[in-house]
Amino acid sequence: MNNMFTDGVKRVMQYAREESARLGHNYIGTEHLLLGIIKEGKGKAVTVLTNLGLNLDTVKQSVEDYVATSGGTMTIGEVPFTPRAKQILEVAANEAKEMKTQFVDVEHLLLALLKDKEGVAAQILAAFGVDYKGAMEETVAVLEGKTTGTKEKGKKSKTPFLDHFGRDLTQLAREGKLDPVIGRKGEIERVTQILSRRKKNNPVLIGDPGVGKTAIVEGLAQRIVEKRVPQILLDKRLVTLDMGGVVAGTKYRGQFEERIKAVLNELQQNPDVVIFIDELHTIVGAGSAEGTLDASNMFKPALSRGELQCIGATTLDEYRKYIEKDGALERRFQSIMVEPPSVEDTVEIVKGLRSSYENHHHVKFPDDVVDFAVRQADRYISDRYLPDRAIDVIDETGA
């Protein structure tokens, strides 16, 4: 197969070896191949990436932040390609074949990297809004000597890691993709008040599972979009941070810390972003191993200096078990107790949500059915809380 590769691909493979050695790794993965493409610095693949609005230095930094650096010592001997990287080379050959070219060039390697969505390279590029389909369209345009105008259309994200590991609630609210929030006016206003403070401006919602803690945050996102918040919050972005996603795949020492550092760096550079961490207690111990920091110890300095704002949500038991025991962490948050709504309030909540379920199930839920469902749920379902159990009854009935 080596005879099929152009000199450009061979240089990229050599650069990938050098990047692996520089980072102190004993393997060559998809991330090193991406660094090799960037180091090559020319050719159609680089043109495609720049036309898609990417700054190559920023991408390089993101790759280095994403993967663990283990000292930068040179590895003696031949560094092996990972099975995934070997597969990428085969896919690149198929890409060249499908595009009816005799040799495998760097643009085919780039497309192969993007085709493997589970690879580190594809995940990094996805965080910048680049996927296989868009890159293929741009590659075809570049090969034909045209441009798709993607560069002008798309804006490079200022927060690629948060985009990758999070979910922008304000954007979802803007697109009408969040369910309406009925009631909880007091709790939403209290969250708004805490966020508007100069110090200790990180609220934590404490309540039983299913009482509507996440709905309160979604209600705040809707208020921000509707400009029904104090001026200090008008331009804020509410982004949920998926701690499970941040931890996932961090099998090498220091890799989790690098991801958290990258997220913290983006938050410090973008003070308009407020993160929401559901199950806040999971940051205590997250990613920790012998000789490493857990997420809470990495967040505490930034929280104490006011370099980021965070909304948390957890249960009372988990709060007492994990947050309350850590005095330094507890001091950074202002607690808001979220009680289950009454039966009457739950009826109003379900009435406010029923149009979404009626559209989904193609049925109608009259007022008496909603009232009956809520009261029966309150009477017979004891292992969960209102309004969650009542909403489940409506959903199950429609199904």
Question: What is the domain partition of the chain in residue ranges?
Answer: 7-144, 160-337, 343-398
* CATH C-level class of 160-337: alpha beta
Structure tokens at 188: 């939403």
DSSP β-ladder status, 166-168 and 237-241: antiparallel
Q: Kindly list the strands in the beta sheet with 237-241, ordered across the sheet, starting from the edge strand earlier in the chain.
A: 166-168, 237-241, 273-278, 309-314, 203-206, 334-337
Residue 110, amino acid: L
Q: Which residue has the higher pLDDT, 230 or 285?
A: 230
Give the pTM: 0.64
Tell me the C-alpha to C-alpha distance, in Å, between residue 262 and each of 94, 97, 247, 278, 357. 35, 38, 13, 20, 39
Q: Which CATH class is domain 343-398?
A: mainly alpha
Task: Determine if the peptide bond prior to 387 is cis (ω within 30°).
Answer: yes
In total, the chain counts a number of residues equal to 399
pLDDT tens digit sequence for 137-148:
888 888 887 654
Q: Do the Cβ atoms of 57 and 66 come closer than 8 Å?
A: no
pLDDT digits (tens, 9 = 90+) for 43-75: 889 999 888 878 888 888 888 877 754 444 444
pLDDT for res 290: 42
The superfamily in CATH containing domain 7-144 is Clp, N-terminal domain (1.10.1780.10)
Determine the Cα–Cα distance for residues 160 and 158; give it in Å rounded to an integer.
6
- Contact (Cβ atoms closer than 8 angstroms) between residue 168 and residue 239: yes
pLDDT of residue 189: 95
